[in-house]
Structure 1
Amino acid sequence: MARPKEFDEHRAVDAAMRAFWSAGYEATSTQDLCAATGLGRSSLYNTFTSKRDLFDRALRHYMTTKNAPLFDILDSDAPARQRIADILHRTAHAPETEPAGCLVVNSIVELAPHDAAARELLATDGERRLDALTAAVESGQRAGEIAADRDARAIAHFLTATISGMRVAARGGADHATLTAIADTALACL
């Protein structure tokens, strides 16, 4: 008879997500993951099979938990310009209880150039967010809030690059005032 798991797998994935988010995939050792999750090496590998399996699950968990509020904002009935402002200011004021930066952005830089599976997962996630931003921009253009003579997809790419840049700046130590100024400048460009 199989012994029941004595830990919460969801919490272990969340803890691993934070470890990878803080240090990156390569720099996070098995020992780091054991310390973060509270699991022994054998329990870690019996449950997740490999560091990469745990990373993939942690990255998917990050995408799910971090994208949900973004989609809630972008799908709301608020004016499009306000939805975009909310996304930018949310990025500028990330909770201090979270590691700085973004696990997706970090993974794009660290893994996507040489890892086809990671690149595909990250690209799929990026397209989903880009589609939601494009829809919000198009909504703003129809409502006259955003200039209609500019390509909505190009604006969505600009916003995505701005958000990614803000996350990199935060990881580098930029404070809330600096990040808010970046957000406000991006809004002024719409």
Structure 2
Amino acid sequence: MGRPKQFDPDAAVEQAMEVFWRKGYAGTTPQDLVDALGIGKGSLYNTFGSKHALFEQALRRYRDSQAVALIEMFEGPGTVKERLRKTLGFLAEMDLADPDRRGCMAVNAAAELAGTDKAATELVQRMFARTEDAFRALAEEGQRSGEIAPERDPAALGSLLLNTVVGLRLLARVAENPDRLRRVIDATVDSL
């Protein structure tokens, strides 16, 4: 009979997410994970199977937490454009306030692993599709309320807004100040 686990696997995924988010997949060593999680390599591999399997769980955790946050902001008070401006502003401010300038873990994973890691690519594709769909639904709401012209294609607007978020998250990693990000946000919302 094996010894019982001396750590919480759910908390370990959360800690691993932070390491992968900061260092990227390739930049994270098994030793980095062992050190961050406070467990032995045997426990790491017995519990998660591999560094890659743990990365997939961490990426799913990130996806789920980000989706909840996005939906909560979209369902808040205000007009569609006010909520959209608030959401984009929040993402920019969050990224700029991060001393490590990690940006978005999904965007980072796409840049690092797309085309070379099928599982990670599929996870990011699903996350982007989910985000794009949320933006499309917001655009449709804006059409119903009269804020967005009815002839605009809500799917195209969803794609535009997803592209804006990806670009903002990348720009925030290198921005010296928030001015450029504010211009992008203002131009995007005003174009709707």
State the Cα RMSD in Å.
Answer: 1.8
- Equivalent in the alignment of 1:180: 182
In the comparison of the two structures, how many residue pairs are matched? Answer: 190
Output the CA distance in 2 between the equivalents of 1:97 and 1:8: 27
Give a deviation string over 1:133-153, Cα, whole Å, max 9, x none: 101001101211122222111
Letter matched to residue 107 of structure 2: V
Shift in Å, 1:54: 0.4
Aligned 8 A contact 2:88 2:185 in 1: yes
- Give the TM-score, by structure 1 length: 0.91
- Equivalent in the alignment of 1:5: 5
Structure 1 stretches of 4+ moved >4 Å: none
The unaligned stretches of length 5 or more in structure 1 are none
- Equivalent in the alignment of 1:104: 106
Aligned 8 A contact 1:134 1:155 in 2: yes
Worse overlay, 169-178 or 156-165: 169-178
Shift in Å, 1:76: 4.2
Output the CA distance in 1 between the equivalents of 2:99 and 2:67: 18
- Equivalent in the alignment of 1:57: 57
Shift in Å, 1:61: 0.4
Give a deviation string over 1:158-186, Cα, whole Å, max 9, x none: 11111111111122244334323322222
Report sequence identity in percent.
Answer: 39
Pair 1:145-2:164 in alignment? no
Output the CA distance in 1 between the equivalents of 2:184 and 2:38: 39
Pair 1:23-2:40 in alignment? no
Aligned 8 A contact 2:59 2:123 in 1: no
> Per the alignment, do residues 183 and 174 of structure 1 end up closer, same or farther by CA in structure 2, a change over 3 Å counting?
farther
- Equivalent in the alignment of 1:122: 124
- Equivalent in the alignment of 2:82: 82
> Per the alignment, do residues 68 and 51 of structure 1 end up closer, same or farther by CA in structure 2, a change over 3 Å counting?
same
Output the CA distance in 2 between the equivalents of 1:178 and 1:22: 24
Pair 1:48-2:57 in alignment? no
Give a deviation string over 1:108-154, Cα, whole Å, max 9, x none: 11112222222222212211111111010011012111222221111
